[in-house]
A and B are shown apart, each in its own frame.
Chain A
Amino acid sequence: MKIDPNDPRLTAYVLGELDDAERTKIEALLQDDETARREIETIRTARATITNELRSEPCPRLAPEQIAAIHERAASRKPARAPFPWWRLLGWATALGAATALTLLQFRPLDQHREKARRLPVYTASPNSSTVAGATAETGHLRLEAPPAPKDVSGSLTLSLNRPEPNPPAIAGQPGRSSTTPQSQHGPSMVTPGSDASGKTVVRANQEITSRLVEIAPASPAQSSSGATLTYNDGHAAWQAGAVSAYRAIGRAESSIGQPNDRITISRGAESRTLPLDDVQSLNYAQSGNESPHSYYDRGQIEWDQYFPPQTESVSPSSPSAESYSHSIENPFVTVAQNPLSTFGLDADTASYANIRRFLNQGTLPPHDAVRIEEMLNYFSYDYPRPHGREPFALYAEMSECPWNPAHRLALIGLKATDIASHKIQPMNLVFLIDVSGSMGDQNELPLVKQALRLLVDQLTPRDRVAIVVYAGDSRVALRSTPGDDKTAILEVIDSLEAGGSTNGGAGIQSAYREALANFIEGGVNRVILCTDGDFNVGVTDPNQLVQMVQQQAQSHVFLTILGVGMGNLKDSTMQKLADKGSGNYAYIDNLDEAHKVLVEQMRGTLVTVARDAKVQIEFNPTLVRSYRLIGYEKRRLRARDFNNDRKVAGDIGAGHTVTALYEIVPATAPAEPGVDPLKYQSSPRSAASAELMTVKLRYKDPEASTSQLLTAAVRDSGASWRGTSSDFRFAASVAAFGMILRDSPYKGASTFNLVHELADGARGRDENGYRSEFISLVDQARTLSGNVVPDDP
């Protein structure tokens, strides 16, 4: 049976508005209805474009006097009805079951919401909720559960924020502000969820189960401070709910009830963090949106900024203009008892370091969110042992005391990818996709791109092919695929490029992929090299939609390399997302030397992928490790179960790449953290016999394979002192410390620019290309800059 393309159910399906039964029906019909499937795709595209367009409509504001009038009324006016201690009722109601919860309806002000209220979440108080006002429990946690719902309430969901009140969220980062939390003003009995400092939770349930909205609103008056971070302490591990400079973290919960994938995702812009339902003790970061063709929780997410007025966006006073960085919260310390597994996708991108260098060389400190420590670490090459035989990776680990916190240990996990001799490189089919819009006119942009590409073209052989697609207001193929030895023709086109017009990155990408596919080299390197400042300012600008397309293309083995250039309107977040999701890599080119590094010295690493979807999972031994913190990789965190899920996309590793991750480790022997009682039952000596501190597991796929391989290594702490460490270890530690200082991280401990300088200076190693020396001079520059924050009059 065919579906009429005019059937509104198709739209409802795409929008997630069908109930389970209808959706199943439609999906069955779609199975063998090519036309309808295309229609679905078209509607999806339309949805993304319309959403994007409407959300970019200017967001007007009330006049200041109107706002003042509202605040005045809000402050003066008593609510119409006397407050009712409904949460107690709710506590009983929950205890008595869902049917009783319906009695609450009579307290709802609007009858029309009756049905919704029934489907919607209730707040579940803690088991001792009847004594809520006097509760002294130290912990609160977020719990998402499917209630014992009546049958007709399909897909109903309860989100409970179970948070006895005496545990206010500690507000870190702005110590002076926290004195205004409602707790401190009004004592411990404030449990009104609507404005509870510990968090308000609202679930808007859509018909479709996979699309639910959760708003977590720590309505704590941190509004005055930009960049304040709300830290929730759930009693086990502090997790940060968001650097909410305004008021609230807003997220989207994506959930299929009772499915293994249930989760809450909290997102801000391109970034999202996911809280799995069965693992509520930790808030995990995850790159969402690439699990299955039907999940779209990466799309349609709330535009965070829409809810955060512009003044909250002052990431840093040094952020000059329209540059955009997605916000990230650093990984916290997590206890091994609660989270024995730490899982993340590998990332060999280096863009953040080059971008930081650009800022420092311009005389400003980089915005905090532009600092991604893993990309700083991976900018440098480390002399890890090379892999033997046919394995594409070798693992390396080293451990010593943590230079910024002597009570802790620092563990380095290094990975070296196999290199490929130049003469063994497969033939390459490259398409240069070059942004020639007006914004690229600057000397550091198009002219630099042209020089960079010349470097690359010089290395091409007759077996290689190059095509050039340019885009601005529209796109055109400037050079049809041409053999690599026809350098005159290629360089002529490169030299003739000029900037002008607006940008439509979407259309350009489409033509480039077409060109790449038309000249596909079986078993070769097939790659689109996008050179842009990432400012796709006209047309298909929805990053999610671009990501989707790039992902599709990766399935046909055409991969993406992004060379970011420019300043002022660099859209770092867009480019990072494209490269992350699209089986690609992203390098920021700030000068010709960097172009040389990326496209000549490390050309094979940049262009030849030796492994895909590389993920690391580390299991810590609870008898030796109390807690740990992964430094960096915030955007790469995965859920434990994603490690063995080959459908979960992760990073690509190029030939000869080294990847480095650092963990700061709190040994089990360290004194207990203040405020947390020692656990009574968790320290059972089941694995006491083992002297292994942790086990490192690595999963990857060969570039053409769809199933993953596993490498495992156990790591012991030999108790090495600082003196016994390798220069690579000390250098990596100094890079991490530098990153934490630049981020103004709460975890930076005793890190100072001086310490970083000292560490790095003693760890230059061979430094053949002078990158480590350059790092040291950047550290000095940053030290000078931060010292000059207060202008000194002569």
Chain B
Amino acid sequence: MQDGDEPNRAEWIRLVLAQQQGPLLRYAARITGDIERARDVVQDTFLRLCRERPERLNSHLTEWLFTVCRNRALDVVRKESRTRTLTEIDLSSRQSDEPSPALTAERRETTGELLQAIDDLPANQQEVIQLKFQNDLSYREISRITNLSVSNVGFLIHTGIKTLRQRVRALEGVSHED
């Protein structure tokens, strides 16, 4: 029976890959600021997934993937900036870093003011907003992925939305317009 498991597991990987590579790449790209580095990170993440047993990850697969992906991405960022260790706090000042031309170009076509405003947020707010709104993860899941407390996650998201509302007029409700 165990042998029979193998092709089935490969199928599972294929499935998860098809479904999650996009979201993970977007996430990693935001951390590394570079789509190529993001691709390496996500590939690593999936190679690690190949070592896991599907049923062990079933109920928290997404969370596992994002956690591993995040750690790998932070590793890469740390290696790139050898002079200092990039901690969570450092991460929040990374906003001043220019995203790579490739990423910017990819962005420019489809997005407007709002995405720009999200890019301008402190990195920790960007990250939780991305996890919440792009990937529909709960505060608790985000908390475990980012090692922030649940209430901290809630605060960051709340503050992030507030800032975006101030900067992007379209975010103010219908009743407020004019």
Interface size of B by CB at 8 A reads 85
Q: Choose among B51, B132, B159 the residue that contacts A79 (Cβ–Cβ < 8 A).
A: B51
For the complex, what is the distance from the CA of A207 to the CA of B150, rounded to whole Å? 11
B-chain residues with CB within 8 Å of residue A422 when the two chains form the complex: none
B47 touches A73 (CB 8 A): yes
Q: Does A120 contact B (CB under 8 A)?
A: yes
Stretch at the interface among B84-92, B93-101, B108-116: B108-116
- Given the interface pairs A66-B43, A83-B2, A120-B60, the reply to whether A192 lies near B106 with Cβ below 8 Å is no
B15 touches A60 (CB 8 A): no
A-chain residues with CB within 8 Å of residue B130 when the two chains form the complex: 54
B177 touches A43 (CB 8 A): no
**Closest B residue, CB atoms, query A53:** B114
B172 touches A190 (CB 8 A): no
- Given the interface pairs A116-B60, A202-B59, the reply to whether A247 lies near B15 with Cβ below 8 Å is yes
A247 touches B10 (CB 8 A): no
A-chain residues with CB within 8 Å of residue B4 when the two chains form the complex: 182, 185-187, 189-190
A45 touches B172 (CB 8 A): yes
Type the 1/0 row for A40-70, where 1 means its CB is closer than 8 Å to any CB of B. Answer: 0111111101110111111111110011011
- Given the interface pairs A70-B46, A540-B170, the reply to whether A54 lies near B56 with Cβ below 8 Å is no
B-chain residues with CB within 8 Å of residue A223 when the two chains form the complex: 14-15, 18
B53 touches A549 (CB 8 A): no
For the complex, what is the distance from the CA of A50 to the CA of B165, rounded to whole Å? 10
- Given the interface pairs A49-B114, A62-B25, the reply to whether A42 lies near B51 with Cβ below 8 Å is no
- Given the interface pairs A71-B13, A307-B19, the reply to whether A63 lies near B39 with Cβ below 8 Å is yes
Q: Which of A429-466 contact B (CB under 8 A)?
A: none
Distance from B158 Cβ to chain A, minimum over Cβ atoms (Å): 4
Q: Choose among B9, B129, B137 the residue that contacts A74 (Cβ–Cβ < 8 A).
A: B9
For the complex, what is the distance from the CA of A54 to the CA of B117, rounded to whole Å? 12
A-chain residues with CB within 8 Å of residue B64 when the two chains form the complex: 110, 113
Q: Does A600 contact B (CB under 8 A)?
A: no
For the complex, what is the distance from the CA of A426 to the CA of B169, rounded to whole Å? 40
A-chain residues with CB within 8 Å of residue B22 when the two chains form the complex: 59-61, 306
B-chain residues with CB within 8 Å of residue A61 when the two chains form the complex: 21-22, 25
Interface size of A by CB at 8 A reads 92
Q: Does B122 contact A (CB under 8 A)?
A: no
Distance from B151 Cβ to chain A, minimum over Cβ atoms (Å): 8
B-chain residues with CB within 8 Å of residue A195 when the two chains form the complex: 5, 8-9, 11-12, 15, 54
For the complex, what is the distance from the CA of A540 to the CA of B165, rounded to whole Å? 14
For the complex, what is the distance from the CA of A121 to the CA of B58, rounded to whole Å? 10
Stretch at the interface among A213-221, A286-294, A556-564, A618-626: A213-221
A-chain residues with CB within 8 Å of residue B129 when the two chains form the complex: 50, 54
A-chain residues with CB within 8 Å of residue B61 when the two chains form the complex: 202
Q: Which of A1-49 contact B (CB under 8 A)?
A: 6, 8-12, 15, 17, 38, 41-47, 49
- Given the interface pairs A45-B173, A60-B106, the reply to whether A50 lies near B164 with Cβ below 8 Å is yes
Q: Does B82 contact A (CB under 8 A)?
A: no
B62 touches A204 (CB 8 A): yes
Distance from A257 Cβ to chain B, minimum over Cβ atoms (Å): 17
B154 touches A219 (CB 8 A): no
Q: Which of A535-591 contact B (CB under 8 A)?
A: 538-540, 549
For the complex, what is the distance from the CA of A511 to the CA of B97, rounded to whole Å? 41
For the complex, what is the distance from the CA of A56 to the CA of B22, rounded to whole Å? 11
A60 touches B18 (CB 8 A): no
A193 touches B55 (CB 8 A): yes
A539 touches B21 (CB 8 A): no
Type the 1/0 row for A661-694, where 1 means its CB is closer than 8 Å to any CB of B. Answer: 0000000000000000000000000000000000
B139 touches A51 (CB 8 A): no
Q: Does B77 contact A (CB under 8 A)?
A: no
**Closest A residue, CB atoms, query B115:** A53
A-chain residues with CB within 8 Å of residue B154 when the two chains form the complex: 8-9, 11-12, 17
A306 touches B14 (CB 8 A): no
Q: Does A423 contact B (CB under 8 A)?
A: no
Q: Choose among A62, A83, A207 the residue that contacts B42 (Cβ–Cβ < 8 A).
A: A62
For the complex, what is the distance from the CA of A108 to the CA of B52, rounded to whole Å? 11
Query: For the complex, would chain B's binding face be called helix, strand, loop or mixed by DSSP majority?
Result: helix
Type the 1/0 row for B139-178, where 1 means its CB is closer than 8 Å to any CB of A. Answer: 1110010000001001101110110110000111111110
Q: Which of A183-207 contact B (CB under 8 A)?
A: 185-187, 189-190, 192-195, 200, 202-207
Q: Choose among A56, A58, A193, A510 the residue that contacts B106 (Cβ–Cβ < 8 A).
A: A58
Q: Choose among B21, B172, B173 the residue that contacts A62 (Cβ–Cβ < 8 A).
A: B21
Distance from A555 Cβ to chain B, minimum over Cβ atoms (Å): 14
B-chain residues with CB within 8 Å of residue A202 when the two chains form the complex: 58-59, 61
Distance from A4 Cβ to chain B, minimum over Cβ atoms (Å): 11
For the complex, what is the distance from the CA of A108 to the CA of B107, rounded to whole Å? 39
Distance from B34 Cβ to chain A, minimum over Cβ atoms (Å): 11
A11 touches B174 (CB 8 A): no
Q: Choose among A182, A205, A248 the residue that contacts B7 (Cβ–Cβ < 8 A).
A: A182
- Given the interface pairs A43-B161, A217-B15, the reply to whether A83 lies near B173 with Cβ below 8 Å is no
- Given the interface pairs A58-B106, A70-B50, A248-B15, the reply to whether A182 lies near B8 with Cβ below 8 Å is yes
For the complex, what is the distance from the CA of A80 to the CA of B129, rounded to whole Å? 34
Q: Does A723 contact B (CB under 8 A)?
A: no
B-chain residues with CB within 8 Å of residue A47 when the two chains form the complex: 133, 161
Distance from A225 Cβ to chain B, minimum over Cβ atoms (Å): 14
Q: Does B26 contact A (CB under 8 A)?
A: yes
B-chain residues with CB within 8 Å of residue A705 when the two chains form the complex: none
Q: Does A406 contact B (CB under 8 A)?
A: no
Q: Does A722 contact B (CB under 8 A)?
A: no
A44 touches B161 (CB 8 A): no
B58 touches A15 (CB 8 A): no
Type the 1/0 row for A253-287, where 1 means its CB is closer than 8 Å to any CB of B. Answer: 00000000000000000000000000000000000
Distance from B73 Cβ to chain A, minimum over Cβ atoms (Å): 14
A539 touches B170 (CB 8 A): yes
**Closest A residue, CB atoms, query B20:** A307
B-chain residues with CB within 8 Å of residue A247 when the two chains form the complex: 14-15, 18-19
A-chain residues with CB within 8 Å of residue B5 when the two chains form the complex: 83, 190, 192, 195
Distance from B141 Cβ to chain A, minimum over Cβ atoms (Å): 7
Q: Does A81 contact B (CB under 8 A)?
A: yes
Q: Does A246 contact B (CB under 8 A)?
A: yes
Q: Does A424 contact B (CB under 8 A)?
A: no
A69 touches B43 (CB 8 A): yes
Q: Does A109 contact B (CB under 8 A)?
A: yes
- Given the interface pairs A53-B111, A510-B174, A539-B170, the reply to whether A11 lies near B158 with Cβ below 8 Å is yes
B140 touches A66 (CB 8 A): no
A219 touches B15 (CB 8 A): yes
B52 touches A79 (CB 8 A): yes
Q: Does A491 contact B (CB under 8 A)?
A: no
A17 touches B26 (CB 8 A): no
A60 touches B52 (CB 8 A): no
Type the 1/0 row for A621-649, where 1 means its CB is closer than 8 Å to any CB of B. Answer: 00000000000000000000000000000
27 A-B pairs within 8 Å (CB atoms) are namely A8-B154, A46-B164, A50-B171, A55-B134, A57-B111, A58-B26, A58-B110, A60-B29, A60-B38, A69-B47, A70-B46, A113-B59, A116-B59, A182-B8, A190-B8, A195-B5, A195-B11, A195-B15, A204-B60, A207-B138, A207-B139, A223-B18, A248-B19, A306-B23, A307-B18, A510-B177, A549-B174
Contacts A73-B47, A186-B7, A204-B138 supplied; 7 other A-B pairs, CB < 8 Å = A12-B158, A15-B139, A60-B35, A61-B25, A75-B7, A113-B63, A113-B64
The 8 closest A-B pairs by CB, nearest first: A194-B54, A59-B22, A186-B4, A8-B158, A74-B13, A54-B134, A11-B158, A42-B173
